[in-house]
Amino acid sequence: MHFRIKDGVTLDLLPTKQFKTIGIKVDFVAPLQATAITARALLAQVLETSTAAYPTQTALARELSRLYGASFGISVLKLGTKHVIRLTCSLVDEQYLDNFGDQQALFDQGMALLKEVLFAPLLPNGNFDPTTFTQQRQNLLTAIKSLDDDKQYLANRRLQELLFTGQPTQAMSALGDIHVLNDLSATDILGTYHEMLAHDAVHVAVVGDVDEQRAKAAMADWPLADRAVEADSPYYRWSLRDHVQVGDDEAPVVQAKLNLAYQLPIYRDDPDFMAAVVFNAAFGGTPLSLLFTNVREKASLAYYASSGYSPFTGTLSVQTGIQAENQQRVEAIIAEQLAAVQRGELSEKLLAEVKASLLNARLAALDSPQRRLTGLLNTQLTHLHEPLAAWQEKLAKITVADVTRVAQQVTLQATYCLHGGVQGAE
C-alpha cells in the first residue's frame, strides 16, 4: 500500500503477520552533491547519538533497551545521483512477549522515538551540542580511516577513484571526505539539518502486523511540510574513455587485491535491464558463474572472484584476491570469460541455473523485513513498480541472445591492483 502524506512525503505499508517484529524505515533523499556528502554523513552520526529528551547516548540506549532492544540506526548511502540518510528501527511485536505491561504498543513508542530523533535533536542554545559534535566528528574521521584497514574495501575505493577521476560525487565514499570533515562546524550541519527537513524527499515505510489507520496515525504529528521534489533522473551517466586507466599501489598485504571496472551503460529503466542482471549473475555474480568456475575452481588462482553490477551508475566491477605474480594470467582469464559471452558462448545450462538462482534470491528476500523495506527505495527513485509475477515473466524470457547483446556493451575502463610488492603489478 502506497500513500502520499504530503507533497514529497510518502508512506509505504507492507502489512504481514509473517514476522515477530515491526520494521520502520525513513529515507531522506537529496541530490548527490560533492559538497554536501560529508556534512550529511556527519549529521546522520550526530542525530543518532542523542536527542533533547535523551541527551546522552546512554539515555538513548536505555530508552531503546526499555523498548525491548529496539534496533535503531541512521546510515547514509549513495545511489546513482542521490544521497540518502536512512533511519531504521525494528521493534518487537508485543503480542509475542511475556508479561508486556506498557500502556502503549512498541510500534507507537518507536515511532514517537523516531519523531524525537528527527524533530527534537539536542540543540542547547539553538545549535548542536559542542561536545557531542566534536566527538562525533572525530568518530566519523576515525571510522572513515578505519575503512581502509579492510584491504578489499581499500582496493575497491582506489578503483572507484581511478574510474571516476574528476567526478567527485562518484569517486567519494558515502561517508564523505576527511579533509572536508575537518572544516565542518556545528553551524554547518545545523544548516544541513534544516535543509534536509525542508527539502529532501521523504519516504517512510513500515513492515509488520500494522494496519493503515495505525501507521498513518503514528506519523500524523510529524511536522513535515509539503516540499517540491524534483523528478530528476537518479541515473549517473558518464562518457566512455578512450583507454583503460591502470593503477597499482604497494601495501603490506600478503594477498594481492585485483579489481576491474567496466562501463555497462544499461540503467534500471532500460529494456535490457533484466538481461544485464542475468549477465552479471552468469559472469561473476553467483558461485555458478564463469569467474568463480574459471578463476577459482579450474585455475585455483583465487579464493574469491566475483562481479557486481550497478544499474544506477552503469558500472560493472570485478573483485579478486590473488598472488601478485599471477595478475596477468588472472586478467587474461577474466577477459576471456567476457569475450566468450560476447561471442554468444553462454551455455543454456548456465543461463537456466542463474535464472533459477535469481528467482530464488528474489523470493528469499521476501522473508527479510529489512530487505522488504530497503527494496522500496528502488521503486521510489525510478517510479518503476514491477509486481513479482511480471518480474518473473520477464526473467523467464531472457535468452542467450539477450545476454550476448548486453555483454557486447561491456567495456573495460579501469584496472587496479593493491599488492605486496612481489614482482610488481606491471
Partner 1 sequence: MLNKKTYDRLGETVYQATLTNGLKVLMVPKAGFHKTFAIMTTDYGAMDNEFVPRGQQQPVRFPDGIAHFLEHKLFEKKDHDAFDLFGKYGASANAFTGFTQTSYLFATTSHLKENLEILLDFVQDPYFTPATVNKEKGIIGQEIQMYDDDPGWQSYFGMIGHLYPKEPLHIDIAGTVDSIDRITADDLYAAYNTFYHPSNMSLVIVGQLDPEETLAWITANQDAKTFAPNEPITRVPSPQAKPADIVADSTRQLTVSRPKVSIGLRGFDTVPAGRDGLRYSVAVSLMFDLLFNDTSDNYLRLYDANVIDDSFGYDFQVQRGAHFAQLAGDTDRPEQFANELSAILADAPAQLAAAKPQFDLVKREAVGRIVGAINSVEGIANQYDGPLFDGATIFDELTILEQLSFDELLAAARDFLAQSRQTVYTILP
Distance of closest approach, residue 82 Cβ to partner 1, in angstroms: 25
If one asks whether residue 357 binds partner 1 (CB under 8 A), the answer comes out as yes
Contact 208, 21 (CB under 8 A): yes
178 part of the interface to partner 1, by CB under 8 A: no
Let me know: does 125 contact 186? Beta carbons within 8 Å. no
Where does this chain touch partner 1 (CB under 8 A) — which range of 121-129, 132-140, 187-195, 227-235?
A: 132-140
Cβ burial 264-291 (10 Å sphere, 16+ → b, else e): bbbbbebebbbbbbbbbbbbbbbeebbb
96 binds partner 1 (CB under 8 A): yes
Q: Cell match 552533491: residue?
A: 33
* Coil/strand/helix, residue 336: helix
Cβ closest to partner 1, residue 16 vs residue 167 = 16
Out of 10, 38, 81, 90, the only residue in the binding site for partner 1 (CB under 8 A) is: 90
Contact between 324 and partner 1 per CB under 8 A: no
Q: Interaction with partner 1 in 267-296: which residues (CB under 8 A)?
A: 286-288, 296
C-alpha cell read off for 149: 584497514
Pick between residue 255 and residue 315 the one whose CB is nearest to partner 1: 255
Which of 147/225 has CB closer to partner 1?
147
Cα separation, 401 vs 398, whole angstroms: 8
Residues 363-382 touching partner 1, rule: CB under 8 A, are: 363-364, 366-369
Find the binder of partner 1 among 1, 52, 148, 191 (CB under 8 A): 148
Distance (Å) of CA 26 to CA 111, 299, 312: 10, 46, 21
Task: Tell which positions 48-87 bind partner 1, by CB under 8 A.
Answer: 56-58, 61-62, 64-71
Question: Which string of DSSP letters, residue by residue, matches 238-298?
Answer: -PPPSS-EEEEEE-S-SSEEEEEEEE----TTSTTHHHHHHHHIIIIISTTSHHIIIIIII
Distance in Å, CB of 356 to partner 1, minimum: 3
**Chain centroid offset of residue 92 CA:** 25
Q: How far is the CB of 374 from partner 1 (least distance, A)?
A: 15
Nearer to partner 1, 189 or 207 (CB): 207
The kind and range of the H/E element at 103 are none
How many Å separate Cα 332 from the centre of its chain? 31
245 forms beta bridges with 414
Interface map 217-256 toward partner 1 (x if CB under 8 A): ----------------------------------xxxxx-
Nearer to partner 1, 207 or 275 (CB): 207
Nearer of residues 239 and 300 to partner 1, judged by Cβ = 300
40 belongs to the binding site for partner 1 (CB under 8 A): no
Q: Does residue 325 interact with partner 1 by CB under 8 A?
A: no
Of the listed pieces 117-125, 145-153, 240-248, 306-314, which binds partner 1 according to CB under 8 A? 145-153
Choices 96-104, 209-217, 264-272, 374-382; region in contact with partner 1 by CB under 8 A: 96-104
Binding to partner 1 by residue 149, rule CB under 8 A? yes
Report the site for partner 1 in 391-420 (rule: CB under 8 A).
none
Q: Does 303 bind partner 1 (CB under 8 A)?
A: yes
- Paired with 298 in beta bridges are none
Q: What is the dihedral of CA 285, 288, 289, 290, to 10 degrees?
A: 160
Secondary structure (DSSP) of 54-85: S-SHHHHHHHHHHTTS-EEEEEEEEETTEEEE
Phi, psi of 44 (to 5 degrees): -60, -45
| Interacting residues with partner 1 (CB under 8 A) | 16-21, 56-58, 61-62, 64-71, 90-92, 96-98, 135, 138-139, 142-143, 145-146, 148-151, 251-255, 286-288, 296-297, 300-304, 321-323, 352-353, 355-361, 363-364, 366-369
